[in-house]
Amino acid sequence: MPGKRMNSIKNRDKYETLRDHGMSKEKAARIANTPNASRRGGKAPSYEDMTKDEVYQRARKVGVEGRSKMSKKELIHALREN
Alpha-carbon span 48 to 54, nearest angstrom: 10
The answer, as to whether pTM is greater than 0.75, is no
Alpha-carbon span 75 to 81, nearest angstrom: 10
Rounded mean pLDDT of 41-63?
89
Q: How confident is the model at residue 14 (pLDDT cuts 50, 70, 90)?
A: confident
Q: How confident is the model at residue 38 (pLDDT cuts 50, 70, 90)?
A: low
pLDDT of residue 66: 96
> What mean pLDDT, rounded, does the chain reach?
85
